[in-house]
Amino acid sequence: MYAIVEIAGKQYRVAKDEKLYVPRQGADVDSKLKFDRVLLVSDGEMVRVGTPTVQGATVNARVLDHVRGDKVVVFKKKRRKRYRVKNGHRQPYTQIQIESIAG
C-alpha cells in the first residue's frame, strides 16, 4: 500500500515504515504528525485518486530528527572590479517515518 501526499507544498510517494526528509516541520522529536492532503491511495489492486484530495484519507508519521542538508556554496564575482562574495546555505529538513496510511 502506498499514497501520494502533499507536505509543505511538495508531493511525496510514501509507504508504511518508510523514512524520508521533508521541509522543516514545527514539531518536536518523537511527536506524531498527521497529513490529510492525500492525493492518491493505492492498496495494490484498487487506486483512489482525489479531486484534489481523497476524502477521509490520512497519513500518520512520527518525527525522528531535525537535520540540515548539505552546504550549497553561492559565489558571485565581477571580473576586474575586485568584487567577490562567497555565501553558504544549508536547508533545514525534518526526518519522518511513516507509521500508517488510513483511507
Residue-wise pLDDT tens digits, 9-46: 999 999 999 999 999 999 999 999 999 999 999 998 99
Of 99, 92, 98, 29, the closest CA to residue 64 belongs to 29
pLDDT of residue 44: 87
Cell readout for 50 is 482525489
The phi and psi torsions of 42 (rounded to 5 degrees) equal -130, 135
Instruction: Note the Cα 82 to chain centre separation in Å.
Output: 41
| DSSP tag of 78 | E
Full-model pTM: 0.85
Instruction: Note the Cα 78 to chain centre separation in Å.
Output: 37
pLDDT per residue as tens digits for the range 60-93: 999 999 999 999 999 999 999 999 999 999 999 9
36 by Cβ neighbours in 10 Å (0-12 / 13-18 / 19+) ranks as middle
| Amino acid identity, position 64 | L
pLDDT of residue 47: 95
Cell readout for 66 is 531535525
